[in-house]
Chain A
Amino acid sequence: MRGNETGIRGQAGAEAILVEALSKTYQVPEREGGFGAAVRSFFRRRYKNVEAVQHVSFSVGRGEVVGFLGPNGAGKTTTLKMLSGLLHPTGGTARVLGHSPWERSTDFLSAITLVMGQRNRLSWDIPAADSFLLNQAIYRISDADFKATLNELDELLELSPIMRKPVRNLSLGERMKCELAAGLLHRPQVLFLDEPTIGLDITAQARIRSFLQEYNRRTGATIVLTSHYMADVTSLCQRIIIIHHGQLKYDGGLTDLSRRIAPFKLIGVALGEVRECDLSCYGDLVKTENLDGKQYIQVPAAQVTEITARILQDLPVHDLTIEDPPIEDIIERAFNE
């Protein structure tokens, strides 16, 4: 399944990331429960092959922001780890800024970053400011550049009040800001972000999102991010790549996906007097967690006008809305297709 790719690939030949038939198979030791099995496995271990990523191909243009989506265990993080040089693939090739990531050349490592929301990379015991200084040395950042970048990051993330405290004393949101700053001090051209907003409250999430948007606008950096929060995806990514069971399921625009996967709309109806009314003859009733007192039906996009007219004619309608199905539903449908 391929979406409309014109206009989102960037200029030809300006690819930041080029992935071809990338595969990763893990060998996982396996044994049954119980004493006998434990003894047997001591002498002879059995392994099961787990194909985490299978023949995935895609490319990302310079300056693009791409959402990498899939359910847990789909192979997203494995792919990011391969692209950032942490993992060796079992098959296929990848070029990031012209480098083969797993050769781990200094030039490559100096030009990328991988920030993971669930993992702490900053030293726990010392203030983030000290880790920043260490990064300045490691990435050979000049004093002037370091100061300028740190000021910019400070302005966007409000680091001043938190970067002098030991990292262990920071809240999750504060820590994430420092993690991002530490990952961006060397002004990487490619950012791999694995769930950068996980566990954060709505305000902190929004702040990180607007920061990433602004960072992309200012520096033209390429961003590949995974997230389970659809708000991250809808507000940041022009393009999404969906993988499931290690295979690429979709690569294209977000609006295009809903048009393909879910060519239907939701009609929400609040009835004035008669509360007990069967809407199922107009379309499929949809369960919703909205507490607005409306009942929702799902109808084919092409018939929205006609069905709305019939409902308005037949029923004592108090309120009526026409909505796109939630993006979560669309993505879930795409996973399962």
Chain B
Amino acid sequence: MLHIYRRLWAVNWAEQWQYRANLLMYLLYWLVSPIIYLVVWTTVANSQGDVKGLTANDFVTYYLVLLVVDQLTSDITLHVLASKIQDGTLSGELLKPIHPILTNTLMNNLAFKALIFIVFLPVWLVLVLLFQPDFSAVTWQNILLALPTCAIGFGINFLLGATITSLAFWTTRVYSLHEFYYALAVLFSGQFVPLVLMPPVVQQIAQFLPFQLMIYFPVQLVLGLLPPDAILRNFALGLMWLTIAYGLFNLVWRRGVRRFSAVGA
């Protein structure tokens, strides 16, 4: 199986290189909103001294870490898979004795990430020079601990994205459904505003949703803002959501493939 993943990696890596320009567009699209939030919140914090106890440096460190975590946990399944289901080109992959999503689409996602980091890192370093964050609270232990949480966050996002994309077996409107999912993610993941600034009710709800596991939890972890019991709780929650997302994806995928009409091909 490892051999298959290695080959899939090689093929997807080579393919992604062919679409470098496309990749750049995605990156710009992804960077724009977090950078805007970063600028807006630091400006507000600077003018008022702080926002509910959060200083300008808190916002700068928060969003700079968020930018990295967001790249790690983001998912492009919709853009790769939906059209394949709709125009029938999925047939070619369905004929092969491997699960097309948990192998090929997964590796495609990872190859995309690897390539995007090559462009993203210099941009990030420029932002660091511009905003001069104070990262003294960040420890290596926390960064190491955050890596598996990012993997779990990505896993959840990938499987939920794949679930929504699999609805393309029924409807051609998966893109708007995914927009809705993305809007929820922006709100509840802590991208729009650090969750701690949200009304208490929203925070209560958000802590049980999967979205904060994709951004807020890893970011807070890196910044050293979480006590051990919160880390453990979120790890457990992450594994639970990963299982739920996997179950959901499997259910929708199996039923979808039964409905697949392989139009054209």
Contact = CB atoms under 8 A, between A and B. Distances in A.
Interface of A: 26, 81, 84-88, 102, 104, 106-107, 109-110, 112-114, 116, 118-119, 121, 123, 125-126, 130-131, 133-139
Please name the 7 residue pairs, one residue from A and one from B, whose CB atoms are nearest each other, closest first: A109-B97, A121-B92, A137-B7, A119-B265, A125-B18, A106-B97, A137-B4
A208 B96 CA distance: 23
Contacts of B240: none
B70 to A, nearest CB: 27
A84 B11 CA distance: 25
A131 B94 contact: no
Contact of B261 (A87, A107, A118, A125): A87
Given A126-B15, A131-B11, A137-B7, A84 B265 contact: no
Contact of B11 (A85, A86, A109, A134): A134
A113 to B, nearest CB: 7
A87 B95 contact: no
Contacts of A138: 4, 7, 96-98
B95 A109 contact: yes
| Chain A binding surface SS class | mixed
Given A125-B15, A126-B11, 16 more contacts: A86-B95, A86-B260, A102-B258, A109-B95, A109-B97, A116-B265, A119-B265, A121-B92, A123-B11, A125-B14, A130-B10, A134-B8, A134-B11, A138-B97, A138-B98, A139-B97
Contacts of A106: 97
A133 B4 CA distance: 10
Interface of B: 3-4, 6-8, 10-11, 14-15, 18, 89, 91-92, 94-98, 257-262, 264-265
Contact of A134 (B7, B89, B264): B7
B97 to A, nearest CB: 4
Contacts of A131: 11
Contact of A87 (B10, B11, B18, B262): B262
B121 to A, nearest CB: 25
A136 B10 CA distance: 13
A123 B95 contact: no
A114 B93 CA distance: 11
Contact of B94 (A85, A112, A113): A85
Contacts, number: 71
Contacts of B14: 125-126, 130
A110 B97 contact: yes
A53 B133 CA distance: 67
B46 to A, nearest CB: 47
22 contacts: A81-B262, A86-B91, A86-B260, A87-B261, A104-B94, A104-B257, A109-B97, A113-B95, A118-B265, A119-B89, A121-B95, A123-B15, A125-B15, A130-B10, A130-B11, A131-B11, A133-B7, A135-B96, A136-B7, A137-B3, A137-B7, A137-B8
Nearest to A121: B92
A221 B15 CA distance: 33
B11 A119 contact: no
Nearest to B94: A86
A88 B258 contact: yes
A287 B101 CA distance: 56
Contacts of A114: 91, 95
A119 B258 CA distance: 21
A87 B260 contact: yes
Contacts of B261: 26, 87
Contacts of B3: 137
Contacts of A113: 95
A107 B97 CA distance: 8
Contacts of B265: 116, 118-119
Contacts of B95: 84-86, 109, 112-114, 121
Contacts of A133: 7, 10
Nearest to B90: A86
Nearest to A111: B97
Contacts of B6: 137
Nearest to A134: B7
Contacts of A125: 14-15, 18
A275 B217 CA distance: 94
B106 to A, nearest CB: 14
Nearest to B6: A137
B95 to A, nearest CB: 6
B254 to A, nearest CB: 10
B91 to A, nearest CB: 5
A102 B261 CA distance: 12
Nearest to B89: A119
Nearest to A86: B262
Nearest to A108: B97
